[in-house]
Amino acid sequence: MVFRNLFAGPPKNPELQLEHDQDVSHWRSPYGLLSRTDASIHSQGIALHDGLGFYQFEASHRLQRFHRAPAFGPTLENPRFAVGMDLQQRRRVVAALGVESPSDKPFHSLRETTLQFTAVSAPPGDLKGKKENYWLYFLNYSSTRSFLPNIPLPGASYTIPTRSGWTYSLGLPFLSISYMDFPHWSFQATGGPYFYSAALSYGPPAFQVGLSTSWSQTAYFLSERSLKEERLFIDQKEVALNMKCPLSEKLFLEGKIAYRFDQSFRTGKSYEKTTAPTEDLGSSAVFSLHLKARLDSPSDQ
């Protein structure tokens, strides 16, 4: 919510998003990994008094299924609820407070519940149109962060937009590079410790084809774990062919055909500190559909 709003104005309509990833073939996978369904709904921006900004609400749910159940059961889930606020004065402050429970038994206890707060201080206005260099300042709190939980941590990044269309951002702990030349070629890449993503696409924002690759981890708290800090990490790399197009004025479709590899389970207090042997989950071919619908807002009625 926070970073999406930095590059756009207040949402004028509520938005519903549905995404489903279905494995169509898998190799050397002991559990038949993995189908995934994401659902989320975002409210429109609700104006604050005196033009100070707006606030909005968001709810989402992720369900991951296994064709052959591991020891913890056939599903992992992550319900999440958040409220965000965008304040515009001399600097723009975007913040979100949320609660989530990534677990095999969501909200089973406080051990499986995460309270999060993120705030970003930015120059006023829409960052997408900025032509001069700028700083972003961050503050993050998480009750279950693997590094210094329950302690608010500051951060910063410096962004350099260029006239040629390239934009560079250096922060802690990431580096981001992008090039936008709609309706022609566009490129985005971000990398840091234990993650990366890159995408090359052709076309205007609403109608594109392209290629992408990524490396990511998803973390869950198993309800029967022995240590409170221990979590289960699903690790995967991916290469994909992507397509997105509008189906109507308010309905948008994104499709993806992907090959996922180097998939694994690992259990530990953090990704790099495992307490059990890493379990290979093989590789898989995946077909993904993502629908985004703009709903009618009260102001439209």
Any long-range contacts for 111-115 (C-beta under 8 Å, 24+ apart)? Answer: 111/221, 111/223, 111/228, 112/221, 112/223, 113/143, 114/142, 114/143, 114/144, 115/141, 115/142, 115/143
**Buried b / exposed e along 93-107 (16+ C-beta atoms within 10 A):** bbbbebebbbbbbbe
Render 44-86 in DSSP notation, one character per residue: PPEEPGGG-EEEEEEEEEEEEEESS--TT-SEEEEEEEEEEEE
Please give the C-alpha separations between residue 42 and each of 5, 45, 58, 83, 85, in angstroms, as whole numbers: 12, 9, 5, 10, 13
The band of 146, judged by pLDDT with boundaries at 50, 70 and 90, is confident
pLDDT in tens, 195-213: 999 999 999 988 999 999 9
CATH number at residue 161: 2.40.160
Tell me, yes or no, if the pTM score tops 0.85.
yes
Give the percent of the chain with pLDDT over 70. 97
Strands 114-122, 92-100: pairing is antiparallel
pLDDT in tens, 21-63: 998 888 888 887 678 999 999 999 999 887 788 999 999 999 9
Instruction: Check: CB of residue 19 under 8 Å from CB of residue 64.
Output: no
What does the block give as tokens for 48?
A: 């604050």
Please give the C-alpha separations between residue 16 and each of 42, 75, 250, 253, 300, in angstroms, as whole numbers: 7, 23, 10, 12, 17
The band of 297, judged by pLDDT with boundaries at 50, 70 and 90, is low
> Which pLDDT value is given to residue 33?
65
Query: 155 lies in which domain range?
Result: 2-300
Pick from 190, 182, 185, 280: nearest CA to 236: 280
DSSP class of residue 92 equals E
Residues in the chain: 301
Compute and round to an integer the Cα radius of gyration of the chain. 20
> Which pLDDT value is given to residue 79?
98
> Which pLDDT value is given to residue 172?
83
Total domains in the chain come to: 1
The Cβ-side half-sphere exposure at 99, using a 13 Å CA radius, reads: 6
